Amino acid sequence: MELLDLYTLQQSYNQNGVMLCFNGPLTKSLIEEIGYALRSYMRNESPSRSIDVFAAYIEMTQNIRQYAASKGWTDNQTTATVVISHQDKEGRYAVSSGNVVEAYDGRQLVARVEALAEMDKSQLKSAYKEQLRKPRVEGTKTGAGLGLLNIARKASLPFTCSLRQLENGKAFFTLIAII
């Protein structure tokens, strides 16, 4: 078995200002634990920025779990790659998440994210309020379809995202929010 070169990994993390990185099955309690760490890392940050970064992290990770649940995937199949980095000269944070999706869903997701990236803050607020008023879809216990809108409203820059085609009709979706 090839040994992992942790030094190279560490150098790469440092260069990219990675303060927190997770890869693997994403459980409900892990979301809370990592969130707890994130909050303590950001203790010296302004409460507003800290809450915005935390909110982006929570909405992204809960979206990933909810998506997997909607597909009937098990906890072990619910894997994600989550990176929170801080390298921007203006002190901004990047909250990034990647997960495997059905390629068809991935293309729809990209279209949705690109549409949100085109909207200004007041359009995002109207869209958010409109979505908030929509009745819950029967059978969904949790999501309100508000997560992406909420992150877009708090972000300093428009979303960036990408979709990489995988085998078996799957794709890897990456979403980056700058807060």
Partner 1 sequence: MSYLELPPMGDLRIDGTSSTPAIVCESQAGFLEMRGDSYPENSFEFFMPVLAWVEDFLCRCDRPLTVDLYLLYLNTSSVKAMMDIFDMLEESHQRGRQVSVNWYYDKENERVAELAAEFKEDCSFPFVISQNAG
Find the shortest distance in angstroms from Cβ 35 to partner 1. Answer: 8
Which lies closer to partner 1 via its Cβ, residue 47 or residue 72? 47
Within 94-133, the residues that bind partner 1 by CB under 8 A are: 132
Q: Which two tokens stand for residue 157?
A: 């820059």
Find the shortest distance in angstroms from Cβ 94 to partner 1. Answer: 19
Side-chain half-sphere CA neighbours of 99 within 13 A: 25
Q: Which two tokens stand for residue 136?
A: 């819950």
Largest separation between any pair of C-alpha atoms in the chain: 54
Within 46-65, the residues that bind partner 1 by CB under 8 A are: 46-48, 51-52, 54-55, 58-59, 62, 65
User: Residue from 5, 36, 123, 130 that binds partner 1 (CB under 8 A)?
Assistant: 36
CA dihedral 172, 115, 136, 97 (to 10 degrees): 30
3-state secondary structure of 84: strand
Which lies closer to partner 1 via its Cβ, residue 52 or residue 99? 52
Asked if 35 and 58 count as a contact pair (C-beta separation under 8 A), the reply is yes
Which lies closer to partner 1 via its Cβ, residue 17 or residue 143? 143
3-state secondary structure of 11: helix
Residues found near partner 1 in the complex (CB under 8 A) = 28, 31-32, 35-36, 46-48, 51-52, 54-55, 58-59, 62, 65-66, 132, 135-136, 141-144, 146-147, 149-150
